[in-house]
Amino acid sequence: MTAEEIYRHGLERIPAGTLGELAAEAVQPWVTVTPASLLDVLTVFRDDPALAFECLDCLTVTDIMDEGQMEVVYHLYSYKHQHLFVVKSRTGRDEPQVPSVTGLWPAADWYEREQYDMFGVRFTGHPNLTRLFLPDEWVGHPMRLDWKEGETALGIPTSRPDPLVKKDAEAGGGADA
């Protein structure tokens, strides 16, 4: 099915008003859903035999700092019908929260942990929402656009003296270190 067909099929099965407009002009059209109705919508997408999205292909969070929002993007794929569909959900940037979809697709377990690690988005209902990649002692969420790197990380300096700069300073009498 094409994205329009999937959208129209979804509209018939999902209570009116929950499914946003389809961004049809995009190459891969997407539909925006509020976090509150996300689980219901995705459950329909997974279980409806004509849609049958049995695979969560990718879960991405994008930091949209200009608008103060975090965008969670779900790429769904159906092996049965071989079609792809994109669902997006937006949440506030200060305390981002969306429901976890681990109950629908177990693949979401690691995706959500990773995105929590990188962006600090809380996936409510996740069984074990801990950092996936970075060490537990890490402070902050580095993929957020306003994240700043410190002088040291876990006791190790984050930069390295530039050998060329040092030589110049010595040649010039080491004016200021």
Site of interaction with other proteins (CB under 8 A):
26-28, 54-58, 60, 62-63, 73, 75, 79, 82, 84, 86, 105-107, 109-110, 118, 131-135, 138, 142-143, 147, 149, 153-154, 156-160
- Helix%, strand%, coil% for the chain, nearest 5: 25, 25, 45
Q: Tokens 């859903």 map to which residue?
A: 33
Least gap, CB of 37 to other proteins (angstroms): 23
Least gap, CB of 34 to other proteins (angstroms): 20
Least gap, CB of 15 to other proteins (angstroms): 26
CB nearer to other proteins: give 106 or 174: 106
CB nearer to other proteins: give 9 or 75: 75
Q: Got the DSSP string for 67-115?
A: TTEEEEEEEEEETTTTEEEEEEEEEESSS-EEE--TTT-TTHHHHHHHH
Helix (H) or strand (E) holding 44: helix 35-47
CB nearer to other proteins: give 12 or 136: 136
CB nearer to other proteins: give 12 or 137: 137
CB nearer to other proteins: give 162 or 176: 162
Report CA 45 to chain centroid distance, whole Å: 19
CB nearer to other proteins: give 36 or 50: 50
Least gap, CB of 172 to other proteins (angstroms): 24
Least gap, CB of 112 to other proteins (angstroms): 11
Q: How far is CA 132 from CA 7, 28, 101, in A?
A: 34, 29, 17
Sheet holding 83-92, edge to edge: 19-22, 30-33, 83-92, 69-78, 55-64
Least gap, CB of 16 to other proteins (angstroms): 27
CA end-to-end distance (rounded Å), the chain: 65
